[in-house]
């Protein structure tokens, strides 16, 4: 029943319970039938219904049981999406991690149309050492790892752990652990997938705290920081099995049931560098004294058909809603995995040996998946470099540059490496060994290059760029819109290369076209919030024009104490205010106009001597100096590679360019920003002069505590692991599906220079392939 609970909560059962009464007649026994009817009559929340069934006579129902299937299949609050989505479209992405064609096909079938095959799939493909990566991926869809564990009663030794990751730390799993623990001690037996009865040995070597910790670990699912896996350590597995179980009483063939084989499932051998030990949970942690971290979406405050995200426009210490509930679309009939309205989802439609087929659909404002594009297929081709064959989905280094192989395409960052026989003094550290002169040009793609040498380095010709920063150029002069429409600047950085066009504006229809029943009505226009120069937030540019106001920036108005003062963004653009930079999720490098190009170096040295850098939020902290920027910043930092080939292929099949905005830096940053669950942290980013996407997760408050600073670093690392594992958390959203590799780059910094790098974590993430 725990498995059913994981699969169905909180979406699988609607709040309209009367239509489910007939399902109770499909219960396998009288006790379960009675429990079902009582549950439907007494409970309103889906989680309460599932809990009530579990506590009644329905404890051991498999997911393919007729009762469970009836409850799932009766829940249709909107149009049926089975032909588009199946049982769980997100989990279908995990099928690529299956270790055999049989398991890949069975997985795809289970999560498309035939959940009745679950037991065979579970036994043959998940409950084996080879099925560990697949099982971890499925868990990741259902319960992503999130920071913090607190408020537990039975599993109180897991409390006060604000910067540790857990998949399922809540009151429900706390009660389930208590139930398991009591059941084990009462019966003296534990049931594992391979063994029906595993008898507990009455030994002083097995203190009750051991059983309690095991029960809580299995339910709360602590995640390893650098891999987000929930595997237990093999040494712990062997020690517990040897010391705590009576092997003489174990039923079955002793040749089949061994400690080694059981640990192959519970603690696979490849987990030595990414496992969770029981030892760390044997002792209680003291309450944290310093300022805490806030996770507004942790307890699912939104309705089942809504997507929850942290309200980045609400300061953690302000009296406002710290979360936002927006319409969303569930990616399947029996999943709680959701994408927000307005986004495009990339869904797997077929999965063959070396080929995957996808369709691209939009999540409407009404919470329906629609506007699905024609299927397109891609082969997972090998890459070739210097005669070496490189597996699709792997990451590696060429010289000092991080590279990834994706569908036959090798993508690398563009650092300037010091070659053999080259004097280090002759290396500028900038790509193509370009000069550090700041004489900016604006490329057709919306990128500001510090000088034309760097523009040429990245393949732009003289007619592909104009003098000056992109932010300084007026895209509405001359007016590119139809003669009766108004032009509003909306700058973006495009990632495609198939067409050398990247719109930097939006066209708004003339006032006369807003007339509805004789009155001007801007509500008929799409909602696209803008902030005016008078500090007023309006729903769309139509309202702004109707009220004769001017644009300050896109998005809600923010409270900026330095409003009106120019700032230099880390992307090399001078912005009219810090709010204008933050509205584009750009980190502020320093105050005043941009005047310099920062060198790229991990060796402590003075850079940008004519620039005054802002004080760090902590004197010495974990942070990073963005490539080409002058000043370090405290927080987590991750470099991301993306697949140009994948972007261009999708752009070529899309109709009328409707997917253009999905492949912008702004779209990628906005989607990644939704992954940040800590209110005290915010995401910033840019396309760097090394042509990778840099994300910074930095404190959103002025005086962060050590705990809050660590939380921001961990949030950045969490995103890096999701990208590196090619998790469905990123693969299902079109804007993020283009990301192919991630490397953590934050290090210890001070106001003067970079002090110390952290190579171990970087190396660990780089050698982990996308297929994990």
Helix (H, G, I), strand (E, B) or coil at 531: strand
Q: For 242-290, give the DSSP string.
A: HHHB-TTS--S-TTT--HHHHHHHHS-GGGTTS-B-GGGGSSPPPPP-S
d(CA 390, CA 405): 7
- State residue 266's pLDDT score: 79
Residues 603 and 728 in one domain: yes
**Is residue 428 domain-resident?**
no
Residues 48 and 188 in one domain: no
Residues 73 and 153 in one domain: no
- Say if strands 355-363 and 537-538 run parallel, antiparallel, or are unpaired: unpaired
Residues 752 and 615 in one domain: yes
Closest CA to 471 of 611, 578, 576: 576
Domain final position from 248, 266, 281: 281
- State residue 491's pLDDT score: 96
Domain final position from 248, 265, 281: 281
Residues of the chain with pLDDT under 70: 1-22, 25-26, 28-31, 41-52, 54-57, 59-66, 68-84, 192-196, 203-205, 250-256, 269-273, 290-291, 374, 419-426, 511-521, 523-526, 563, 601-607, 655-656, 751-772
Residues 73 and 154 in one domain: no
Question: For 510-577, where are the E strands, in sequence order?
Answer: 515-516, 519-520, 530-532, 537-538, 551-554, 567-569, 574-575
**Is residue 436 domain-resident?**
no
SS3 sequence of 560-595: CCCCCCCEEECCCCEECCHHHHHHCCCCEEEECCCC
**Is residue 482 domain-resident?**
no
Residues 619 and 756 in one domain: yes
Domain final position from 281, 312, 338: 281
**Is residue 1 domain-resident?**
yes
Residues 58 and 162 in one domain: no
Q: Count of domains in the chain? A: 3
Full residue range of the structural domain in which residue 276 is found = 149-281
- State residue 128's pLDDT score: 81
Angle at 196 between CA 192 and CA 199, to 5 degrees: 85
d(CA 345, CA 734): 5
What is the H or E stretch that residue 597 is in? Answer: none
d(CA 279, CA 38): 42
Are 245 and 259 contacting, i.e. CB atoms less than 8 angstroms apart?
no
Residues 732 and 613 in one domain: yes
- State residue 76's pLDDT score: 44
**Is residue 472 domain-resident?**
no
**Is residue 533 domain-resident?**
no
**Is residue 64 domain-resident?**
yes
Residues 627 and 756 in one domain: yes
Residues 617 and 743 in one domain: yes
Whole-model pTM?
A: 0.86
- State residue 7's pLDDT score: 39
pLDDT for 651-679, tens place per residue? 887 766 778 889 999 999 999 999 999 99
Dmax over CA atoms of the chain, in Å, equals 88
**Is residue 295 domain-resident?**
no
- State residue 200's pLDDT score: 84
Residues 43 and 192 in one domain: no
Residues written for the chain: 772
Residues 704 and 621 in one domain: yes
Are 531 and 583 contacting, i.e. CB atoms less than 8 angstroms apart?
yes
- CB within 8 A of 114, min separation 6: which ones? none
- State residue 66's pLDDT score: 62
What are the start-end ranges of the H helices in 60-170?
66-73, 82-85, 89-92, 101-110, 118-121, 132-142
């Amino acid at each position: 029943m725990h498995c059913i609970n994981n699969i169905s909560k909180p979406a699988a059962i609607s709040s309209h319970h009367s239509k489910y009464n007939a399902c109770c007649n499909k219960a396998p026994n009288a006790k379960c039938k009675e429990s079902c009817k009582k549950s439907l009559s007494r409970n309103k929340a889906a989680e309460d219904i599932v809990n009530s069934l579990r506590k009644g006579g329905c404890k051991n129902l498999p997911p393919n049981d007729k009762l469970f299937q009836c409850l799932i299949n009766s829940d249709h609050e909107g149009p049926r999406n089975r032909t588009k989505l199946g049982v769980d479209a997100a989990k279908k992405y995990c099928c690529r991690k299956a270790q055999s064609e049989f398991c890949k096909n069975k997985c795809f079938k289970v999560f498309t149309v035939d959940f009745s095959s679950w037991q065979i799939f579970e036994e043959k493909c998940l409950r084996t050492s080879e099925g560990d990566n697949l099982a971890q991926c499925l868990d990741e869809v259902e319960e992503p790892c999130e920071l913090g564990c607190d408020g537990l009663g039975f599993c109180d030794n897991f409390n006060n752990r604000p910067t540790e990751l857990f998949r399922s730390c809540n009151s429900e799993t706390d009660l389930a652990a208590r139930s398991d623990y009591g059941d084990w001690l009462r019966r003296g037996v534990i049931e594992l997938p391979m063994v029906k009865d595993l008898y507990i040995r009455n030994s002083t070597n097995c203190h009750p705290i051991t059983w309690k910790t095991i029960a809580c670990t299995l339910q709360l699912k602590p995640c390893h920081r650098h891999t987000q896996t929930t595997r237990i350590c093999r040494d712990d597995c062997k020690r517990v099995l040897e010391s705590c179980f009576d092997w003489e009483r174990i039923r079955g063939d002793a040749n089949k049931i061994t400690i080694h084989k059981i640990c192959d499932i519970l603690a696979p051998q490849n987990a030595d560098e990414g496992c969770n030990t029981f030892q760390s949970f044997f002792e209680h942690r003291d309450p944290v004294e310093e300022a805490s971290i806030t996770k507004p979406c942790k307890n699912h405050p939104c309705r089942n058909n809504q997507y929850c995200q942290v309200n980045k426009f609400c300061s953690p210490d302000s009296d406002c809603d710290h979360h936002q509930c927006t319409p969303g679309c569930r990616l399947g009939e029996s999943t709680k995995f959701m994408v927000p309205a307005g986004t495009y989802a990339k869904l797997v439609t077929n999965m063959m040996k070396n080929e995957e087929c996808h369709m691209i659909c939009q999540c409407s404002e009404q919470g329906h998946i629609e506007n699905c594009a024609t299927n397109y297929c891609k082969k997972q081709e090998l890459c070739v470099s210097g005669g070496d064959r490189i597996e699709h989905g792997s990451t590696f280094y060429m010289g000092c540059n991080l590279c990834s192989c994706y569908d036959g395409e090798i993508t690398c960052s563009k650092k300037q490496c010091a070659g053999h026989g080259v004097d280090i003094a002759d290396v500028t550290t900038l790509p193509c060994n370009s000069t550090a002169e700041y004489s900016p040009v604006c490329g057709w793609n919306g990128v500001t290059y510090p000088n034309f040498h760097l523009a040429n380095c990245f393949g732009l010709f003289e007619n592909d760029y104009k003098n000056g920063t992109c932010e300084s150029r007026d895209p509405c002069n001359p007016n590119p819109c139809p003669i009766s429409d108004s032009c509003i600047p909306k700058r973006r950085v495009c990632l495609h290369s198939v067409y050398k066009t990247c719109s930097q504006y939006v066209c708004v229809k003339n006032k006369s076209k807003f007339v509805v029943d004789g009155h001007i009505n801007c509500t008929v226009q799409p909602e696209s919030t803008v902030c005016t120069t008078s500090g007023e937030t309006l729903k769309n540019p139509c309202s702004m024009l109707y009220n004769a106001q001017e644009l300050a920036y896109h998005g809600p108005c923010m409270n900026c104490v330095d409003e009106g003062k120019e700032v230099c963004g880390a992307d090399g653009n001078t912005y009219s205010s810090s709010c204008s930079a933050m509205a584009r999720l750009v980190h502020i490098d320093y105050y005043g106009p941009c005047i310099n190009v920062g060198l790229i170096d991990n060796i402590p040295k003075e850079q940008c001597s004519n620039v005054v850098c802002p004080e760090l939020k902590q004197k010495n902290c974990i942070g990073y100096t963005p490539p080409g920027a002058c000043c370090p910043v405290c927080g987590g930092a991750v470099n991301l590679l993306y697949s140009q080939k994948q972007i261009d292929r999708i752009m070529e099949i899309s109709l009328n360019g409707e997917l253009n905005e999905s492949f912008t830096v702004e779209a990628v940053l906005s989607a990644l920003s939704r992954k940040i669950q800590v209110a005290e942290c915010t995401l910033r980013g840019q396309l760097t002069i090394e042509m990778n996407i840099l994300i910074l997760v930095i404190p959103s408050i002025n005086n962060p505590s050590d705990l809050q600073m660590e939380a921001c670093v961990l949030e950045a690392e969490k995103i890096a692991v999701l990208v590196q594992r090619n998790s469905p958390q990123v693969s299902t959203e079109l804007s993020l599906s283009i990301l192919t590799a991630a490397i953590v780059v934050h290090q210890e910094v001070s106001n003067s220079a970079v002090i110390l790098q952290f190579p171990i974590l970087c190396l660990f993430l780089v050698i982990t392939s996308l297929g994990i």
